[in-house]
Amino acid sequence: MRAILLKIVEAKATAVQARYHRRRRLKIKAENSRVTLLSASETAGVGFRVLQKGIWGFSSTSNTDVDELKKTFEEANQAALSGNGLRQGFPLVVSPVKGVLQVKETRPVTNIPLEEKVDLVRRSEEQIKNLSPKVVSSVAFYEEIVDEKIIVTSGGTNVSYRDVKTDFRVLAYAAEGSRLESGQASVSATGGWGELFRHNPAEMMPELAVKSAVEKLQAEPAPAGLYQVVLHPSLVGILAHEAIGHTVEADFVLAGSIASQNLNQKVASERITLVDDPWPHLDPAATGTLLVDDEGNSPMAAVIINQGYLKGYLHDMETAGIFQVANTGNARAFSYQDEPLIRMRNTYIQPGNDAPEEIIASTALGLYLKGLGQSGQADANAEFMFGVDEAWWIRKGRIGRRVVGVTISGQAFQVLSSVDRVGSDFLLDSGAGYCGKHQPAKVDAGGPHLRCRLKIGGEL
Amino acid sequence: MNGEKILEKILRHGASEAEVSKKTVCEKTVIFENNRLKSLKVNNSTSYRFRAVVNNQLGVFSTNSQEHLSEAWVQVVAIAKASDFDPDAVLPEPQPLTPISGLFEERAVTLSEVLRVARKLVEVFKNFDRRLSVDSARVEVVSSDYSIINSKGVKAEEKRGFSQYFIMGLATEDEAVSSFDYRMNTGVSWEKTIATVEENAISLASCLIQSLGARPAPIFTGEVLLSPETVSEFLEALEFLVNARNIQEKRSVFAGKIGQTIGSSCFTLEDQPHQPGQPWSTAFDSEGVPTRPLTIIKKGVLTTYLYDTYAARRDMTVSTGHADGHFHSPVIQPTASLKEMRESITRGIVVRRFSGNINPINGMVSGLVKGGWYIENGQLTYPITDTMLSGDFFNLLRNITAISQETEPTFVGPLPYLLIKGVNILGNKK
């Protein structure tokens, strides 16, 4: 395969990328004492991307015969040529990679028997039901993705890459009278089961989900208004990823996102340093860990905000050329059928100096917010809205009663400007699931606890 | 290798029931990004899915590769054997199918034609005003062949195709940046689909320019006019609530509510999968079970849940042809014109997009209004930003007061506007 791809990328064009991608995927779900989903898949194919005079052509095939590969390349080439004259060329910034790359796997998933994986899901689901008589429904879900890629480019990349992403999630539904609430706990990682359960052992997770669901039954709706809040690292990550991260993706910047106006300006409290990192030394098993991007370039950490100043954007080889900066290697494609797009990896705020418990103790009145609820979205103007999974009152420096139905909103740069305390702790904790931007991507996000002011949507 | 031979191999390998489905897809796509042509794309793919039942244990295996077909029957049986015994894990029996006409257009659209339309879409939008910017625009033509057979005699095949365009943009003026907004259209017929390109590009451009200078709405409880795009999000929550699996697993508060009033008397929701020439129409679901027109909520009364074969067997009923758990082509019966609805509003807002949560479990609705307008005495008064709305989903269903005759395309099909009273609107509380 490699030899054929190497031959093809020699074709006459501004740039050629060939990416073979084999994926093995496993999903297991148990609900109320039954395994209701046991599904495996194995897919493979090659995506060709050709740049001719500023226009990209892309074509993919699942048929890996030599003739079919040549035909597919030619389709990509012709597609690029058909846009001839519609755009000017641009310089490309490449950082080629050679060799064999492999993520760290402690207890590799390919060494764990299927029966053991099914048993994990079954046991966890069983455990949920037995933890409280108020639990009426329970779900446990496991997913693993094992990717093997060969990326060969005309820019000099020739690399094999094995990447493994794992997810585990439990959900509890509790009822009292006509009221129904849910609680969840989830983990995800790059690597094997050693990495997946590095923070929380699987046995702990049902308890967390049940506690959350049962306690929500007694909680009152959140009151609307502007509040001082202490954010758990899971929500700090959502803020960093959704509200800031998307606005600094260079493709969004070129389209006119708010970040296009603010480079080198003060956009946040000087306590804030925000980074998108392909391999965070504080947690290398984070879900968004990336050793080579899907354009075949070496990824590097991108400092987006440095001590409150907006310092840079996230780039692929094209936007790095347009902005005349280093390529941060953020081009990612979910499958062989997808073209690489600028996507985040692990996006976080760096820890500060305040002990998390001291941040809460020094808060007279506010809310403690943890975990993403149903969803979160942000706009080109960095205006965001996130559902919050768990919330509690803080009164006189103590965490008190739970509230439910909390959504938070605001303008991300204004919210980060209101930050007055940054914790000394650190956690990447975006949990299971995917980021969506035309195609899914595994990412992670987090940081320390921090305190800021933002708007709570709830009862009037 | 043909499907029957694979079925035989799965059965010979120890399965009591087996199913094979195959999907072939051809896509041609042109993408604009950041006001510029970005790429042209051609994708051809074939994928296979196998399901096997071994002693009432169900396994699923899928692949896109001829290479893995030779071991698919080994894989799927091994997966089934690792699953749990479940008396309801069976494959469906064959039933007569009603073919739907007009799901496919014979004419092959070329990549050059797709490019021409994409350029027009972007140019009309950009030429409207210099303050406009295209975040992304995409025009695509997709054709597919789907076939499914099972060892009980299910045999179904459908050839489908659709064209779609989508443009997302924003407006900027000095330091003001509008929200994103978009327009799209989908249809089986290429010509009919692209006929609205100019009109939609201008509509988007005009909306974005008008939304500059938006400010927060006041704080009040009032009426909300939801756009079709927002209505599609409400339907997603309803889909969860009426899914029989969620009822059986006690995840939906609609359990036991068949025959009961759960919404306003003006709210009738149907699923109409047999409309000819509609890209969302289909003769059968992903198990090969026939679809059929279904009234889910009639004048506010819940009439049925959505069943697949598994859930139907558990409730000793028949599948409604909803193996994927989604409405195929939802239709909400209209009650008034959009003009009448707007003029009837004393104090309220229009919600073009809703960036928020509709929690179907506890009913809590909360989020940001995007591209909205404040309305007083039937008049659009000013564009709004930094405004949240909240309420209880189950109350909102009961508080629907009107449904528009006019529909707009959404990603789940054409949908109307809904007018709902008694919604909390939180604008300028600082």
A212 and A65 in a common domain: yes
Tell me chain A's radius of gyration from C-alpha atoms.
23
Measured in angstroms, the CA of A316 and the nearest CA of chain B are apart by 13
Residue-wise pLDDT tens digits, B214-242: 999 999 999 999 999 999 999 999 999 99
Is residue B106 exposed (0-12), middle (13-18) or buried (19+ Cβ within 10 Å)? exposed
Contacts 24+ apart (CB under 8 A), B191-196: B193/B162, B193/B163, B193/B164, B193/B165, B194/B117, B194/B139, B194/B163, B194/B165
Measured in angstroms, the CA of A280 and the nearest CA of chain B are apart by 30
Residue-wise pLDDT tens digits, A323-378: 999 999 999 999 999 999 999 999 999 999 999 999 999 999 999 999 988 777 77
A324 and A450 in a common domain: yes
Q: Which of A122, A136, A226 sits opposite B429 (nearest CB)?
A: A226
Q: Which of B60, B357, B368 sits opposite A383 (nearest CB)?
A: B368
Measured in angstroms, the CA of A17 and the nearest CA of chain B are apart by 14
Residue-wise pLDDT tens digits, A117-161: 999 999 999 999 999 999 999 999 999 999 999 999 999 999 999
**Helical segments of B95-138, H only:** 111-128
A-chain residues near B61 (CB < 8 A): 39-42
Q: Helix count (H) and strand count (E) of chain B?
A: 10, 20
**Which of these ranges, A40-49, A76-85, B9-18, B112-121, has the smallest mean pLDDT?**
A76-85
A4 φψ region: left (φ > 0), alpha (ψ -120 to 50), beta (else): alpha
Boundaries of every domain in chain B: 3-210, 220-233+334-426
If you average pLDDT over residues A236-265, what whole number do you get? 90
Using the beta-carbon criterion (under 8 Å), do A377 and B355 form an inter-chain contact? yes
Using the beta-carbon criterion (under 8 Å), do A38 and B82 form an inter-chain contact? yes
What is the spatial order of strands in the sheet that B330-332 belongs to?
A: B301-302, B294-298, B269-271, B330-332
Using the beta-carbon criterion (under 8 Å), do B357 and A225 form an inter-chain contact? no
Using the beta-carbon criterion (under 8 Å), do A137 and B250 form an inter-chain contact? yes
A254 and A232 in a common domain: yes
Measured in angstroms, the CA of B117 and the nearest CA of chain A are apart by 13
Identify any residues that bridge with A173 across adjacent strands, giving them in sequence order: A137, A182
Q: Which of A31, A36, A50 to mutate to test the interface with B (most CBs of B within 10 A)?
A: A36
Among chain B residues, CA nearest to A178: B253
Using the beta-carbon criterion (under 8 Å), do B388 and A258 form an inter-chain contact? no
A236 and A185 in a common domain: no
Counting the structural domains of chain A, the total is 2
A412 and A400 in a common domain: yes
A132 and A64 in a common domain: yes
Using the beta-carbon criterion (under 8 Å), do B133 and A256 form an inter-chain contact? yes
A-chain residues near B243 (CB < 8 A): none
Using the beta-carbon criterion (under 8 Å), do A58 and B40 form an inter-chain contact? yes
Identify the domain boundary among A216, A251, A274.
A216
Which positions ≥6 away from B246 have C-beta within 8 Å?
Answer: B240, B252
Counting residues of chain A whose pLDDT is more than 90, the rounded percentage is: 80
A112 and A100 in a common domain: yes
Q: What are phi and psi of A240, to 5 degrees?
A: -65, -40
Q: How many Cβ pairs within 8 Å bridge chains A and B?
A: 242
A250 and A206 in a common domain: no
A315 and A241 in a common domain: yes
A162 and A112 in a common domain: yes
CB < 8 Å from B in window 20-79 of A: 30-32, 34-45, 49, 55-64, 75-76, 79
B-chain residues near A115 (CB < 8 A): 82
Q: What is the DSSP string of A385-421?
A: EEEEEEEEEEETTEEEEEEES-EEEEEHHHHHHT--E
Identify the domain boundary among A216, A237, A253.
A216
For residue A296, the 8-state DSSP code is: S
Residue-wise pLDDT tens digits, B249-270: 999 999 999 999 999 999 999 9
Q: What are phi and psi of A241, to 5 degrees?
A: -80, -60
Using the beta-carbon criterion (under 8 Å), do A379 and B86 form an inter-chain contact? no
Counting residues of chain B whose pLDDT is more than 70, the rounded percentage is: 99
Among chain B residues, CA nearest to A456: B388
B-chain residues near A381 (CB < 8 A): 177-179
The predicted pLDDT at position B430 comes to: 44
Residue-wise pLDDT tens digits, A56-71: 999 999 988 999 999 9
Structure tokens at B231: 């209505």
The predicted pLDDT at position A460 comes to: 54
By the CB < 8 Å criterion, does A179 face chain B? yes
Using the beta-carbon criterion (under 8 Å), do B67 and A45 form an inter-chain contact? no
Position B381 confidence tier, pLDDT thresholds 50, 70, 90: very high
| 3-class secondary-structure state, position B351 | strand
A-chain residues near B388 (CB < 8 A): 224, 385, 407, 409, 455, 457
Residue-wise pLDDT tens digits, B316-338: 999 999 999 999 999 999 999 99
CA–CA dist A61, B78 (Å, integer): 28
CATH of B3-210, one of 3.30.70.260, 3.40.109.10, 3.30.2290.10, 3.40.47.10: 3.30.2290.10
One-letter amino acid at B385 equals T
The predicted pLDDT at position B356 comes to: 85
Measured in angstroms, the CA of B73 and the nearest CA of chain A are apart by 12
Position B294 confidence tier, pLDDT thresholds 50, 70, 90: very high
B-chain residues near A60 (CB < 8 A): 43-45
Using the beta-carbon criterion (under 8 Å), do B367 and A385 form an inter-chain contact? yes
B-chain residues near A454 (CB < 8 A): none
ipTM field: 0.89
**What is the CATH number for A112?**
3.30.2290.10
Residue-wise pLDDT tens digits, A392-405: 999 999 999 999 98
The predicted pLDDT at position A456 comes to: 85
Q: What are the distances in angstroms from CA A85 to CA A224, A406, B140?
A: 54, 51, 21
CB < 8 Å from B in window 292-331 of A: none
A-chain residues near B253 (CB < 8 A): 178, 180
By the CB < 8 Å criterion, does A334 face chain B? no
Residue-wise pLDDT tens digits, A407-425: 888 889 999 999 999 999 9
pLDDT of residue B39 exceeding 60: yes
* CA proximity to A142, closest of A162, A126, A165, A163: A165
Q: Which domain holds residue A114?
A: 2-216
Measured in angstroms, the CA of B69 and the nearest CA of chain A are apart by 10
Q: Which of B33, B170, B424 sits opposite A380 (nearest CB)?
A: B170
Using the beta-carbon criterion (under 8 Å), do A40 and B60 form an inter-chain contact? yes
The predicted pLDDT at position A242 comes to: 86
Identify the domain boundary among A216, A237, A258.
A216
- List, in sequence order, every beta strand (DSSP E) within B352-413: 353-358, 364-370, 372-376, 379-384, 388-392, 400-408
The predicted pLDDT at position A88 comes to: 84
Say if CB A345 and CB A240 are below 8 A apart: no
Measured in angstroms, the CA of A282 and the nearest CA of chain B are apart by 32
A344 and A303 in a common domain: yes
Strands A450-457 and B269-271: unpaired
Measured in angstroms, the CA of B76 and the nearest CA of chain A are apart by 8
Using the beta-carbon criterion (under 8 Å), do B80 and A38 form an inter-chain contact? yes
Using the beta-carbon criterion (under 8 Å), do A256 and B366 form an inter-chain contact? no
Q: Which of B47, B77, B361 to mutate to test the interface with A (most CBs of A within 10 A)?
A: B361
CB < 8 Å from B in window 402-421 of A: 404-407, 409, 411
Using the beta-carbon criterion (under 8 Å), do B361 and A173 form an inter-chain contact? yes
Among chain B residues, CA nearest to A35: B84
The predicted pLDDT at position B317 comes to: 97
For residue B324, the 8-state DSSP code is: T
Which of A228-242, A248-262, B56-70 is predicted most confidently? A228-242
A210 and A272 in a common domain: no
